[in-house]
Structure 1
Amino acid sequence: MTEVLYLSYDGMTDPLGQSQVIPYLEGLTKKGYHFHLISFEKEIPYERDKELIGNLLRSKNIEWHPLTYTKRPPVLSTLWDLYRMKSKGAGLIRKHGISLVHCRSYISGLAGLDFQQRFNIPFLFDMRGFWADERVDGKLWDVNKPIYKIVYAYFKKKEREMLFKADGVISLTENAKAEIESWKVRSTKKLPITVIPCCADLNHFNPANVTKEAIDNLRTSLNINGHPVISYLGAIGTWYMLDEMLAFFAVFLKTYPHATFLFITRERAAEIIAMAQKLDIPENAIKVMSAGRSEVPAALMLSDLSLFFIRPTYSKKASSPTKQAEIMGMGKPLLCNTGIGDTDTIVNKYHCGMAIDLSDPNAFDAAIKGMETLLKTPPEQIMAGASSYFSLDAGVSKYESVYQSMLKKV
């Protein structure tokens, strides 16, 4: 088997690791790759799920080397984690005869650059987005402060170096690929960029695997009586426009007064309800459900439509919302905003929902005007779009092709 070192600054006990790392590694393991996985785990989810994830990875023959994520102080904590990633990774390279290093995002990419130089091992720069620009757009780095101005400039310089030196590059979107190519990082030949969106396990996100009994039990436990049901899936944080989503629902209620807004999220329930109350949304119209990955398909089946608005900043050219693949896999129409990666292109191509321009003051009214047609979108049509664009099997095959191309260069 080909030994691969996989570096992730995201944790495997986080939802992102479970949806966007482990399924790919499982698929690639079946194709003859043996993974040594280094990840950085946050304390609370790690203590909660370390046995569950550890057993899962062992059952897939994936060697897991979890390290503790360091949160503070800013900048120095990241440097410390990078040092530990390099130290652990170098030991695994020496011990196991690693043939390829797969680097998920920028911090891991810095380690990949180091290993390429020290051990002459090819590395894959799996970008996942414009990370440095995301930190600025998300107001995590204030470039008006000297320290963050220096850090941002450093990572933009390293971004170009990683793109230039990587043996393979993964972009989540065609939009980002076009943007990167406009930077002209290489003057003589094109960058080896492959577009692989955030795919979904369409065996897991499949209506056929959710029983009517499970849906009815969930409806009863959540006390959902209204119709239609709009769902929101995932974290409520920096990028997700909670105010605007609730504002849309407040307008939606004028046409559909018995509607319910179901938030499928593990966080900030009290904040969601408090913000809804400020908009005079009835308390019984808002439901918040904390769901693990295994519970999400049934929760989505409760809904008639799924909604997400994401801040359309520069860095979001490179974003591929995982939730889009999962929602489409369940055959649910979606309402989203334009300016996020390839999202609106996919919506229009597969006729699976509606993408609105949030800068248009009439956008909400236009969306509600088209709602009756949207709610009648055939689930089979949406699922076919998911299968065509977001299939995990197709994503795994693309990764395998990239791996093979990189290994041929050695």
Structure 2
Amino acid sequence: MPNVLYISYDGMTDPLGQSQVLPYLSGLSKRGYSITLISCEKPERYEQHKEVIQKICALANIDWQPIPYTSKPPIISTIKDIRHLHKRAYALHADKRFDIVHCRSYISAMVGQNMKRKFGTKFLFDMRGFWADERVDGGLWNRGNPLYNTIYKFFKKKEKQYLEQADHTISLTYAGKQVIHSWKHVNRQPVPIMVIPCCVDTSLFDRSTIVDRQKDLLYQKLQINKGQFVIGYVGSIGTWYMLDEMLMCFKVLLQKKPDAVMLFVTTEPAEMVLSAVKRLGVPEAAIRITAATRKEVPYYIGLMDLSIFFIKPCFSKTASSPTKQGEIMAMGTPVLCNSGVGDTAFVVDKYHSGIAVNDFTESTFSAALDKMLGTTYDAAEIRKGADDFYSLGQGINSYEAVYKQLLKQP
């Protein structure tokens, strides 16, 4: 049985771990791969959710090796975490002799790169986007600060090394793959890249599993009348998500549908939304905010006539794949989004699943809403698009194809 070490700097007790790591690894484990998983866990979340993750891993026969994530002091804490990752990975390798080290993003890839050099293991760089550029574009690393500029340059150098030395690279988007293959400074071009977007568990996000009684209870809880038009946003708010522009679009919608409601399904503090609502003059009575577990999210999407997300369009987002897009499509719900973010506009156009705007003016919002409100969307066809482009099964097949190639299996 091939031995795979999967390393993630993101925690499995974080929502991302449960939606974008464990489903793949569970599927690969069932196909005959022995999976060992190292992840860095935030202490508070670990205490809250460790039993859930332990159960998922036990059922999937995944050997979960959590280590603590540290955040203070900045930079020094990351160096400490990197050393801890190396130490745990080397100790496990002494016992298990891994064939493949599968590294999620840039911090984890340091370990995979060093293990390839030291032990000859296959190095799979699952890049998850242009991480160093994301830190700059998101305002987390100010390149005007000499320290952060040095860190940025260090990781751009590492990025070049990872792409050149990895036995295979995973990109979330075709747009990102195209950018990488255009880079003249990277040797071995075209470097081997498989595109695997953020996949969705279409068995969880399935409108047919939601009964009317459940919807009625949620309408009551949220104080929404049946027949009221609901536009909804799902997920975190901040850094990348353009809350002001989404609320401005909702103001335009209210001119067309005065009784419309905007539903936010988020674990962020309600005040984060409400302060923007007040500042922009959006009627607070038309806003609904609720938190939801991953298993509850499909029920809330099921209430939406239209979903919306605007993401800051910048260079680093070329390589980003919004998880929410596949989840929304799997529910058969049309989406209003923006171009300049990975393959988002391509997918919307290809599968007739909504509209991607090119700017954030009131006139653009008005024209897009008029077109969407005047279109009868086929929920079954939108869901078929999710199955074709985002399904978890497709993602597992693609990962297995890469694993087989690295192991030289037929």
Q: Same fold (TM over 0.5)?
A: yes
Q: Which residue of 2 aligns with 1:267?
A: 268
Q: CA deviation at 1:359?
A: 5.0
**Contact 2:57-2:64 within 8 A present in 1 as well:** yes
Is 1:143 aligned with 2:177?
Answer: no
What is the identity, as a one-letter code, of the residue corresponding to 2:28? L
**Contact 2:235-2:266 within 8 A present in 1 as well:** yes
Is 1:103 aligned with 2:109?
Answer: no
Q: CA deviation at 1:115?
A: 0.7
Q: CA deviation at 1:138?
A: 0.4
Q: Residue deviations 1:32-61, cap 9 Å, x none? A: 011110111123322211111111111111
Q: Aligned to 1:341, what secondary structure does the other structure show?
A: coil
**Contact 1:250-1:279 within 8 A present in 2 as well:** no
Q: Which residue of 1 aligns with 2:298?
A: 297
Identity of aligned residues (%): 49
Q: CA deviation at 1:360?
A: 5.0
Q: CA deviation at 1:74?
A: 1.7
Pairwise CA RMSD of aligned residues? 1.3
**Contact 1:163-1:185 within 8 A present in 2 as well:** no
What is the identity, as a one-letter code, of the residue corresponding to 1:316? K
Q: Which residue of 2 aligns with 1:207?
A: 207
Q: Residue deviations 1:16-43, cap 9 Å, x none? A: 1111000000110111011110111123
**Contact 1:236-1:268 within 8 A present in 2 as well:** no
Moved >6 Å (runs of 4+): none
Q: Which residue of 1 aligns with 2:216?
A: 216
Is 1:13 aligned with 2:7?
Answer: no
Q: Aligned to 1:112, what secondary structure does the other structure show?
A: helix
Q: 1:67-216 counterparts in 2 under 5 A?
A: 67-185=67-185, 187=187, 189-216=189-216
The separation in 2 between residues aligned to 1:369 and 1:246, in whole angstroms, is 17
Q: 1:249-328 counterparts in 2 under 5 A?
A: 249-328=250-329
The separation in 2 between residues aligned to 1:247 and 1:194, in whole angstroms, is 38
Q: Aligned to 1:102, what secondary structure does the other structure show?
A: strand
Q: CA deviation at 1:185?
A: 5.0
Q: CA deviation at 1:371?
A: 2.7
What is the identity, as a one-letter code, of the residue corresponding to 1:215? K
Is 1:403 aligned with 2:397?
Answer: no
Q: CA deviation at 1:88?
A: 0.4
Q: CA deviation at 1:188?
A: 5.0
Is 1:63 aligned with 2:34?
Answer: no
The separation in 2 between residues aligned to 1:227 and 1:66, in whole angstroms, is 46
Structure 1 residues 188 and 272, CA gap change in structure 2 (3 angstroms): closer
Q: Aligned to 1:335, what secondary structure does the other structure show?
A: strand
Q: Aligned to 2:296, what secondary structure does the other structure show?
A: helix
Q: Aligned to 1:293, what secondary structure does the other structure show?
A: coil
The separation in 1 between residues aligned to 2:143 and 2:54, in whole angstroms, is 39
Q: CA deviation at 1:279?
A: 2.3
The count of aligned residue pairs is 408
Q: CA deviation at 1:90?
A: 0.6
Consecutive unaligned residues of structure 1, counting only runs of 5 or more, are: none
Q: Aligned to 2:374, what secondary structure does the other structure show?
A: helix
Q: CA deviation at 1:287?
A: 0.7
**Contact 2:240-2:312 within 8 A present in 1 as well:** yes
